[in-house]
Every structure is written in C-alpha cells, then in structure tokens.
C-alpha cells in the first residue's frame, strides 16, 4: 500500500491489487477527516471478493453483449461468467491483477499492467499505465494511458464507491448530484444498451440541476430504474470536446459539507448507486455495505460500443495512445 498526502492533510491510499484507490481521507467543513470511499476490511478480503471497490477496470469497462464482438472482420469470443455477457473485462479483469509499481513519491504513484494477446479473449498485447497524483489544490488526478501491438477495443475506467459522509455511513440518498447531461443510454433486461439515447427531461435521470439522489431513486414507476433497482446507466455529457477536460459531475453531501467535482475527457460516465451491495461485504470501518451505500461516477467510453456502430469507436490501433484523464477535486460548502 502506498499513501499519498498533501499540505492540507488529504490522503490517498493506493493498492497494488487492481491499482485501486483503497482509501481517500478528506476533511469536512469543520476540518474532521473521514475516509470517503468504500474499501475492504483487509488486503486478504480484497483478493477473495471481486467487488471492484476503487479498482482500475479493463480491458473494456461495462457489459459486452453476447460476450463477443467483431473487429476487422474477425469475431472474438470473450471470457464470461454466465456465458452471455462479458462484464468489466471478464472474470479475470484488470481489477483482479497485481499491478507493477513503476514510481512512488510523496504525492504520486505510477503503476503498470501488461495484458497479453488473447487475455480474456481480447486481441493484441496491451500495455497500460495509471498515474495517481494528489496536489495541493486538493485534487486527485488519475491518468490512464495504453498502447497496443494489434487493434483492440479499449475503454478503461476508475471505480471508486463514494460516500462523502464517510464509508459505511449509510445510504447516499441525501447526496446532491449534478450531471451536465441531457441524455442517457436505454438498457435491455440484461443491462446492455439498446442503442437508443433517452432524453432525461421530466424523468428520474434529470440531474442537470442539483438534485438529491433519493429524489430520482424514489421514482418507482420509471421502467429503466426498475430494471436496475437504482441507477446503473451511462449518461452522455452535453459538452463533447475530444481530449479536453470538462466537468462531468458534481456531488455534494450536505451534513459534512464535502463537495466533489469530477472532471473528465471521456464522452460520458456510468453512474451506479451500489444496487448489488447486499450487506455481505464488511468495510474498513467494520460496518457492512448495503445497497445505495455509495455512488460510483465512472468516466469511460460508450459501453458495448463494439456492437453498436452508431456509438463512438473505442478501438485502439498500433501507433495510437489511449488516454483517460480523471480529476477528483474536493472542496467544502459554506454553511
């Protein structure tokens, strides 16, 4: 475990397993520190249970329908648990691997993973690095880069489970979310995209103005919300400037005063409210994690893009460099 720190007392713990953000200690409006990401009780539990907590996800984040895709005329069949969907890179996705430390300093850490040709069914060798940097403006920067020796789909993401009241503090229904996104992707019953973009106007999915998560989650008549028992959808950001960082989400927890701004260079982000947490996972605080005990804000490419030609491509080719830059900027409200 590596601990990064800054002059204001913020700390980020980075784990080798899954190149994960294992803890993130941030002060509230009164200066009291709390860990605001869900994490495993110990290192052994992290390796025994695949929970994605804080992990680096790949080779392709999200669900791939049919656990297959065709690229350059060749069909590729992917590893899967249930035989019909490849989820978060397959059963042995990047979150399950020990990454290699490349560089460690007080304020930054860089790790590498080499994914061989055929790994989980994906073509080509992929070399990935992730660099974490904690600066003195209270921002944690996470930057992924990757290169390949053969064309392959690549869409990495970072998967912290945020609870700005503190990990294990209970449901995040009172967290207030803002998303600059006018549409989201409709899901089939197997939770893969249909290909249709739905307008958020008047729906549970409209967070263009700050709104409590619980307000949206309480819309029990929404068919898409019923399908996932909470949010587990991809929002398409309104501003599309390839390669440029822009605000992707704002999260505010009123009782602590903590505010999180998420900046991204990706076309959208997956929002997940921990719907599958069932209390069986015990966190660092010793408290069990239940459904809606956190929210994930995961900047990434369009899910299942290989099977939807109408979506922006996520194919990486030799000579190109894949990048995914994320900035988590922390601040406090004014009471």
pLDDT digits (tens, 9 = 90+) for 50-89: 899 999 999 999 999 999 999 999 999 999 977 789 999 9
DSSP reduced 3-state for 96:
helix
Least confident of 35-44, 108-117, 151-160, 235-244: 35-44
Confidence of residue 335 (pLDDT cuts 50, 70, 90): low
pLDDT in tens, 145-164: 999 999 999 999 999 999 99
Please say if the pLDDT value at position 217 is more than 90: yes
Cα 112 to Cα 126: distance, rounded to the nearest angstrom: 11
Q: What are phi and psi of 173, to 5 degrees?
A: -55, -30
pLDDT at 43 over 90: no
pTM of full prediction above 0.95: yes
**Per-residue CA distances from 201 to 123, 182, 184, 206, 207 (Å):** 40, 7, 11, 6, 9
| Distance from C-alpha of 90 to C-alpha of 88, rounded to nearest angstrom | 6
Q: Residue 303 half-sphere exposure, CB side, CA atoms within 13 Å?
A: 35
| Residues 250 and 259 sit within 8 Å (Cβ to Cβ) | yes
Rounded mean pLDDT, 245-262: 98
Q: Are 300 and 266 in contact (CB under 8 A)?
A: yes
Alpha-carbon dihedral sign for residues 83, 123, 75, 189: positive
Structure tokens at 151: 């064309």
124 near 137, Cβ under 8 Å?
Answer: no
Positions marked active-site:
159, 298
pLDDT of residue 284: 87
Q: Using the predicted structure, report yes or no on whether residue 47 has a pLDDT greater than 80.
A: no
Residue 60 to residues 208, 217, 228: CA-CA distances in angstroms? 27, 27, 20
Tokens 């460690």 belong to which residue? Answer: 104
Contact at 8 Å (CB) between 197 and 320? no
Cα atoms found within 13 Å of the Cα of residue 64, Cβ hemisphere only: 32
pLDDT at 104 over 80: yes
CA dihedral of 190, 306, 299, 295, whole degrees rounded to 10: 10
Helix (H) / strand (E) containing 127: strand 126-134
Tell me the mean pLDDT in the region 304-318. Answer: 98
Provide the domain count of the chain. Answer: 1
Handedness of CA 286, 277, 306, 247 (dihedral sign): negative
Q: 243: pLDDT confidence band, cut at 50, 70 and 90?
A: confident
Say which CATH number the domain at 266 has: 2.70.98.10
What's the confidence (pLDDT) of residue 242? 85
Measured CA to CA in angstroms, residue 213 lies from 32, 205, 210, 247, 263 at distances of 24, 10, 9, 19, 20
Six-digit token pair at 194? 């249909």
- The rounded distance, in Å, linking the Cα atoms of 324 and 299 is 8
What is the average per-residue pLDDT within 203-231? Answer: 94
Its domain, for residue 306, covers 2-332
In the chain, the percentage of residues whose pLDDT exceeds 90 is: 91
The encoded tokens of residue 65 equal: 């329908």
pLDDT at 219: 85
Between the CA atoms of 267, 35, 256 and 141, what dihedral angle is there, to the nearest 10 degrees?
A: -30
């Amino acid at each position: 475990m590596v601990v990064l720190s800054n002059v204001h007392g913020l700390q980020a713990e980075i784990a080798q397993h899954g190149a994960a953000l294992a803890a993130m200690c941030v002060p509230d409006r009164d200066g009291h520190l709390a860990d605001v990401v869900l994490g495993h009780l110990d290192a052994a539990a992290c390796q025994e249970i695949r929970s994605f907590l804080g992990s680096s996800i790949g080779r392709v984040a999200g669900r791939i329908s049919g656990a297959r895709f065709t690229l350059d005329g060749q069909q590729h069949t992917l590893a899967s648990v249930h035989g019909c969907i490849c989820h978060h890179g397959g059963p042995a996705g990047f979150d399950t691997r020990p990454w290699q430390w490349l560089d460690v300093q007080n304020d930054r850490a860089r790790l590498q993973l080499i994914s061989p040709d055929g790994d989980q069914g994906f073509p080509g060798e992929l070399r990935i690095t992730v660099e974490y940097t904690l600066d003195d403006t209270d921002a944690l920067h996470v930057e992924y880069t990757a290169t390949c020796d053969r064309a392959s789909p690549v869409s990495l993401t970072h998967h912290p489970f945020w609870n700005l009241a503190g990990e294990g503090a209970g449901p995040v229904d009172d967290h207030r979310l803002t998303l600059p996104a006018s549409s989201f992707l409709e899901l089939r019953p197997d939770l893969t995209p249909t290909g249709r973009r739905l307008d958020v106007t008047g729906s549970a999915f409209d967070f263009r103005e700050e709104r409590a998560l619980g307000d949206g989650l309480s819309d029990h008549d929404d068919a898409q919300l019923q399908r996932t028992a909470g949010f587990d959808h991809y929002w398409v950001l309104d501003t599309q400037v390839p390669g440029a960082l822009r605000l992707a989400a704002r999260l505010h927890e009123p009782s602590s005063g903590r505010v999180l701004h998420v900046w991204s260079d990706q076309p959208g982000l997956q929002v997940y409210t921990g719907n599958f947490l069932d209390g069986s996972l015990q966190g660092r605080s010793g408290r069990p994690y239940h459904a809606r005990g956190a929210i994930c804000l995961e900047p990434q490419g369009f899910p299942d893009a290989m099977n939807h030609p109408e979506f922006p491509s996520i194919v990486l080719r030799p000579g190109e460099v894949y990048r995914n830059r994320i900035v988590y900027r922390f601040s406090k409200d004014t009471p």
